[in-house]
């Protein structure tokens, strides 16, 4: 599983390290199926404040194709964790659908 992070330069460098750790930890159970993960974190409206930190996760899987999840929150942690939680649920659901479809075809 290859992980790429695209973090806006306005965020501290620690955000990249934390993002890599969290993505690897949360998606570990799908590692044998995932080819690539791309995570982009950006501040939608700059220093104005508000719910404007966006995390976009693109996962490319051999079995289920591409999955794109976006989450917006007040801070980086909220956006990243929300996007990762939704990504895990979506990947599990897609994987189960593919397995069920394959079993029904037999």
Domain holding 31: CATH number? 3.30.160.100
Query: Could you read off the pLDDT of 5-57 as tens digits, one per residue?
Result: 999 998 999 999 999 999 999 999 999 999 999 999 999 987 776 678 999 99
Structural domain that includes position 71: 2-105
Please give the tally of structural domains in the chain. Answer: 1
Q: What is the pTM of this model?
A: 0.90
Q: Give the separation between CA 50 and CA 52, rounded to whole angstroms.
A: 6
The secondary structure of the chain, three-state, reads: CEEEEEECCCCCCHHHHHHHHHHHHHCHHHCCCEEEEEEEEEECCHHHCCCCEEEEEEEEECCCEEEEEEEEECCHHHHHHHHHHHHHHHHHHHHHHHHHHHHHHC
């Amino acid at each position: 599983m290859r992980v790429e992070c695209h973090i806006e330069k306005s965020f501290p460098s620690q955000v990249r390290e934390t993002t890599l750790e969290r993505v690897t930890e949360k998606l570990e159970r799908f590692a044998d199926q995932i080819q690539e993960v791309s995570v982009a974190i950006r501040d939608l409206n700059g220093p104005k404040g508000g719910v404007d930190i966006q995390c976009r996760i693109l996962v490319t899987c051999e079995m289920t194709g591409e999955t794109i999840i976006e989450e917006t929150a007040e801070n980086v942690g909220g956006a990243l964790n929300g996007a990762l939680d939704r990504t895990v649920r979506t990947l599990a659901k897609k994987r189960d659908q593919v397995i069920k479809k394959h079993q029904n075809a037999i």
